[in-house]
Amino acid sequence: MEKQTLSFQAEVKQILHLVTHSLYSNKEIFLRELVSNASDACDKLRFEALDNSALFEDAPNLEVRVWYDEQARTITVRDNGIGLSAEEAVQHLGTIAKSGTREFVARLEGEQKKDAKLIGQFGVGFYSGFIVADRITVESRRAGARPDEGVRWSSEGTGDFEVETIERPARGTDVILHLRDGEEEFLSAWKLKSIISKYSDHISLPILMPKQAWDEEKKEQVTTDEWEPVNKAAALWTRSKSDITDAQYQEFYKQLSYDSEPPLAYTHNRVEGRTEYTQLLYVPAKAPFDLWNRDKRGGVKLYVKRVFIMDDAEALMPVYLRFVKGVIDSADLPLNVSRELLQESRDVKAIRDGCTKRVLSMLEDVAENQKDKYAEFWAQFGAVLKEGIGEDHANQERLARLLRFASTQADAGVSLADYVGRMKEGQEAIYYITADTLAAAKGSPQLEVFRKKGIEVLLLTDRVDEWMLSHLYEFDGKPLQSVAKGGVDLGKLQDEAEKKQAEETAAAFKPVLERLKTALKDRAKDVRATTRLVDSPACIVVDEHDMSSHLARLLKQAGQDAPKGQPILEVNPAHALVKRLEATAEGDERFDDLAQILFDQALLAEGGQLEDPATYVQRINRLLTA
């Protein structure tokens, strides 16, 4: 191939500009990214060589080499991994076909504090070299290709790049950074070694640098022709827990997840038995931006006998634990395992079940012994964990104990066990209400009698709550009961005198109820007197087995059709507005206006929307001016 000059994809130009001008606060990440890419290239060669050992050619020992040239002002990162063909160099280094590119650009442009972890998250780590370099040259040959099929790619990180065919005897890739003025600090063996030790110590391949020796004549350290490893070259998860410090666990997490903050918790175990594997799993402190993308692959890397197999092995962790990061290294899976085989393997199911239980145990420990830390976790991931109630029936009881809610007694942090422990004598159900916001839940008229009697009610405001409640029927033998469904029945919490008075009031109020049913026949399934209201004139409820109004609204917002049904209007015979209704004579058209206003106000108080706001305003105005 003759030398060609090609243009970068538009998104790459944006990324190059942002990387060059925005990530200056943590320049050293360029070496972390390039060493990580070199390690990945070796992993890919090892994986492809499972089916074609000839790809190793005459160099079966995989390694990464890093060195600098002070005179030329260059840093080179070399690997003898899979390498690139000319077509792959253009494809991988000149374009980004990933759907997340625009998201990456938007995030990087929008961050006030420029965040280097985004580089790794979006798979654009190669471009971080332009943080310190004004030109990058890549020389590569793909494993199995002829020596005359090498490729040289070069760019100054502006609008264009050059690519040409070269002679290259060795497979693999050299990434050569030509440093900018002012970046001389990286032309130092000590500096490069310290960065590798900080970020890449866990990489299982040897990372080699030229050995330094003392020159007695020059009275200084000089570079020799010998190479020495500068990392431990042992996968962290394969080492004994007693040999690993908390700082090393945290640094490995940051390298693994591209997160700048330490994890909330982690667990490291070797599991033996019918299925043998090692697990090192982390719970992040903060939710990723794409947490709600259920199609996103999981955050767990799969290794088999320390051979990297795949990123994001979603079959190893249930969807509701998609925020978990880590590594699983199996001793039993075949090295050529595919994503399809992962879905069907009994060993994978055993690993998945074991890892799920381990993560839940880790969360239970935090919830029991570090309540403040668990509150932080719940604020970030609680809504996602709720998905497990309907998806993981085997662990539903454990998950239910990890749930936290707001209630009429606390704005957050109430567990179902806390609630049951505070239940009043004679209380038989766990009461809850769903709403769009905490304020709407607190202000709901349905809570009035519960407040009056000091009965705690859980306030559920996450969008996932309605779905979760369709799978969670009871806890600790106590049924969960919505205060906005069916008739209010407080059982033993309501004395006989109250029940008798309610029955007498309902009987005396029956003629008004009949008139209300006629006036509202097109809007309400039924109208009845209630004891649940104290200060409000009316409220909207639904039958015990009907879809809640809140769920119907959520479905409508999502563009889905909800089953058509009418709610029930419950009225408070003791309220002044209802007494005014009662006093309105037969045939008085104001009765119909009052009835419609009563229904509309109850609908608004419940969080609903009026189909005809203008008519509601006209009715209010007529009554105000009458």
The predicted pLDDT at position 564 comes to: 74
Question: What CA–CA distance (Å, rounded) separates 366 from 527?
Answer: 49
Q: What is the CATH number of domain 493-625?
A: 1.20.120.790
The predicted pLDDT at position 589 comes to: 78
CATH architecture of 236-374: 2-Layer Sandwich (3.30)
400-487 has which fold? Rossmann fold (3.40.50)
Q: Mind listing the pLDDT tens digit for each residue in 357-371? A: 999 999 999 999 999
Tell me the mean pLDDT in the region 130-146: 94
The alpha carbon of 517 is separated from its chain's Cα centroid by a whole number of angstroms, namely 48
Confidence of residue 10 (pLDDT cuts 50, 70, 90): low
The predicted pLDDT at position 494 comes to: 65
Question: What CA–CA distance (Å, rounded) separates 348 from 337?
Answer: 11
Neighbours of 187 (CB within 10 A): 17
The domain ranges of the chain are 4-229, 236-374, 400-487, 493-625
CB 93 within 8 A of CB 9: no
The predicted pLDDT at position 358 comes to: 96
Question: What CA–CA distance (Å, rounded) separates 69 from 79?
Answer: 18
H-type helices in 267-391, by residue range? 339-344, 346-369, 371-385, 388-391
Spelled out in words, what is the top-level CATH class assigned to the domain 4-229? alpha beta
Mean pLDDT, the chain, whole residue set: 84
Confidence of residue 115 (pLDDT cuts 50, 70, 90): very low
For residue 108, pLDDT over 60 is answered with no
Confidence of residue 507 (pLDDT cuts 50, 70, 90): confident
For residue 498, pLDDT over 80 is answered with no
Domain 400-487 shares a fold with domain 493-625? no
**Nearest CA-CA partner of 467 in 434, 440, 429:** 434
DSSP conformation letters of 497-533: HHHHHHHHHHHHTHHHHHHHHHHTTTT-SEEEE-SS-
CB 424 within 8 A of CB 491: no
The predicted pLDDT at position 110 comes to: 54
The predicted pLDDT at position 70 comes to: 93
For Cα atoms 615, 616, 621, give the angle at the middle one, nearest 5 degrees: 95
The share of the chain scoring above pLDDT 70, in percent, equals: 85
The predicted pLDDT at position 583 comes to: 84
For residue 480, pLDDT over 90 is answered with yes
Tell me the mean pLDDT in the region 226-252: 88
H or E segment to which residue 133 belongs: strand 133-141
The predicted pLDDT at position 124 comes to: 57
The predicted pLDDT at position 97 comes to: 39
The predicted pLDDT at position 307 comes to: 67
Q: Mind listing the pLDDT tens digit for each residue in 255-314? A: 788 788 899 999 999 998 888 999 999 999 998 777 767 666 668 888 887 766 777 677
For residue 389, pLDDT over 60 is answered with yes
Tell me the mean pLDDT in the region 326-351: 80
Least confident of 330-344, 425-439, 452-466: 330-344
The predicted pLDDT at position 301 comes to: 86
Least confident of 11-25, 260-274, 298-312, 478-492: 11-25
Alpha-carbon Rg for the chain, nearest whole angstrom, is: 33
Tell me the mean pLDDT in the region 608-623: 87
